[in-house]
Structure 1
Amino acid sequence: MEFLVDMVTTVPEGTSEDGVADMRRREAARSAELAAQGSLLRLWRPPLAPGEWRTWGLFRADDADELEAVLASMPLRAWRRETVTPLTPHPNDPGQPSR
């Protein structure tokens, strides 16, 4: 299954710039691992309000429980809220192989 995940991150007050930079580095490393494993397919940056930290991600997992394990493994999970939308194939999707 594929899932669209809207991830909104809020850095806790008092977090140092070094702390934010470290978190970003760890998140980038984990994202690369998930991409190599085939769990993370794409990331987008939607239009942002000033100071907003938001990402849309396309993930692949067998089910919602597996997706939850993937999301829980990401360092930024500690600072963000997520909205998950399960996706199903559309019969007219031009990206699907002909049947």
Structure 2
Amino acid sequence: MREFLVEITTTIPEGTEPAEVDRRRAAEAVRAKELAATGNLLRLWRPVGELRSIGVWRAGDEDELHEKVLGTLPLRSWMTLTVTPLESHPNDPGKADAAG
């Protein structure tokens, strides 16, 4: 499995009913928990004062990430994504923890 840094900006289309926004946001929270449980969503942050998210996601490849992971998010049609594939850095202090 590969890891990806994903920046997500969600823009709600003008004129969208508040009930639809609430429904999709609730479904998004459920789906995020499911993707975390399957190991596809590792971490998720929101920069202070911004309405975007930054996360570390995992998938077999970038096509799988888009089609089978991010594509299943209820808010996906309202999202703009920036995906950056990641690889381990030789000086990553977390590597020692992973090796145990």
TM-score (norm 1): 0.90
Amino acid at match of 2:19: D
Could you say what secondary structure the match of 2:35 adopts?
A: helix
For 2:23 and 2:56, how far apart are their aligned partners in 1? 24
Amino acid at match of 1:58: V
For 1:32 and 1:74, how far apart are their aligned partners in 2? 11
RMSD (Å), alpha carbons: 1.5
Q: CA deviation at 1:48?
A: 3.3
Larger helix fraction of residues: 2
Structure 1: gaps (5+ residues): none
> Which string of whole-angstrom CA distances, capped at 9 and with x for unpartnered residues, describes residues 54-98 of structure 1?
111110111111111211011110101100000110001010135
CA contact (8 A) 1:7 1:83 kept: yes
Q: CA deviation at 1:18?
A: 1.4
TM-score (norm 2): 0.89
Could you say what secondary structure the match of 1:35 adopts?
A: helix
Q: Does 2:52 match 1:54?
A: yes
1:67-82 matched pairs, under 5 angstroms: 67-68=65-66, 69-82=68-81
For 2:42 and 2:59, how far apart are their aligned partners in 1? 10
For 1:90 and 1:36, how far apart are their aligned partners in 2? 26
Percent sequence identity over matched residues?
A: 55
Amino acid at match of 1:7: I
For 1:17 and 1:79, how far apart are their aligned partners in 2? 14
Amino acid at match of 1:56: I
Q: What's 1:34 paired with?
A: 35
Q: What's 2:83 paired with?
A: 84
For 1:61 and 1:79, how far apart are their aligned partners in 2? 22
